[in-house]
Chain A
Amino acid sequence: EVQLVESGGGLVQPGGSLRLSCSASGFTFSSYAMHWVRQAPGKGLEYVSAISSNGGSTYYADSVKGRFTISRDNSKNTLYLQMSSLRAEDTAVYYCVKGRELLIAEYFQHWGQGTLVTVSS
């Protein structure tokens, strides 16, 4: 069974930094692309970032480009999202999502439970 467990969320001041983690199990993590999707409180879903299976290719939404960095440690079956220069509009639940073997446009079958990031002074 695919399991994705996010951690690292919390309260951070504007301009601050935070690193999210997503621990994966139930599949061969190193063989699959991974994604981050976020949802502001009471709002819809926003696609944030993606990384290929070997980490060689990454993608960022314009809203986070230059501030967020996606990475992965395949030896630890863990996906990361390093967030810096955080803004109030980054406040959201961040979901870790399993991709396919190739980094392509796709639908999302497997989601984590999400971790809440709150940016506020």
Chain B
Amino acid sequence: EIVMTQSPATLSVSPGERATLSCRASQSVSSNLAWYQQKPGQAPRLLIYGASTRATGIPARFSGSGSGTEFTLTISSLQSEDFAVYYCQQYNNWPPGWHTFGQGTKLEIK
């Protein structure tokens, strides 16, 4: 099973600054990597798929990069509504373990 590891666990950033979140796969997932945002009491919201393609309605300040085993989600200028937990997910593999999520990065206000 592919293990997804996110870092850091918690990231403290001031509004208006840039945030960079990392996700590492235990083996190559090509570009089959998605990012989600989750706020308390809400379902996850798809931000990025294919490692770098923004989902419908996602602001341009969110960008994804990487391929293989190393991936990054960048939020260029943090808005108040961006403080949340972010998860990466690989969808490269076949069963078992064909959809595995990272443990999450909590983005908090500094």
Contact = CB atoms under 8 A, between A and B. Distances in A.
B89 A105 contact: no
B101 A45 contact: yes
A45 B101 CA distance: 6
Question: B-side binding surface: helix, strand, loop or mixed?
Answer: loop
Nearest to B100: A47
Contact of B87 (A45, A95, A112, A114): A45
Contact of A105 (B32, B46, B55, B102): B32
A105 B101 contact: no
Interface residues of B, number: 26
Interface residues of A, number: 19
A113 B92 CA distance: 26
A47 B94 contact: no
A47 B46 contact: no
Interface in A27-76: 35, 37, 44-47, 59, 61-62
Contacts of A107: 34, 46, 49-50, 89, 91
A105 B91 contact: yes
Interface string A70-103: 0000000000000000000000000100000000
